[in-house]
Amino acid sequence: MERVGLVLSGLRPRNVAFFGVDLTGVELRATDLDWRFGDGQPVDGTAQDLLLAVCGRRLPAGRLTGAAADRFVG
């Protein structure tokens, strides 16, 4: 968990752009760490699942919740 938190805390818009993920209008919020990223509709999930989403991985339904969670389900 500590390592995932370190990676998430170092994220900047330029880093996220490298993975080609569009986070426009989305606020990612970790449920197991004190971490948020972005501004907009909330997407909640574990830090690990949010990191996978930021890196362009599609997640199974139910792993993320919130108004924009469907954008990251595959």
Residue 41, beta-bridge partner list: 26
CA distance 39 to 14: 16
Note the pTM of the prediction, 2 decimals. 0.86
32's CB contacts (< 8 A; 6+ apart) are: 1, 46, 47
pLDDT in tens, 58-73: 999 999 999 999 999 9
Mean pLDDT of 12-32: 84
Is residue 33 within 8 A of residue 1, CB to CB? The reply is yes
What pLDDT was estimated at residue 6? 78
pLDDT in tens, 32-49: 999 999 999 999 999 999
Provide the 10 A C-beta neighbour count for residue 26.
22
Q: How many domains does the chain have?
A: 1
Write the CATH number for 39. Answer: 3.30.1050
Domain that holds residue 63: 2-72
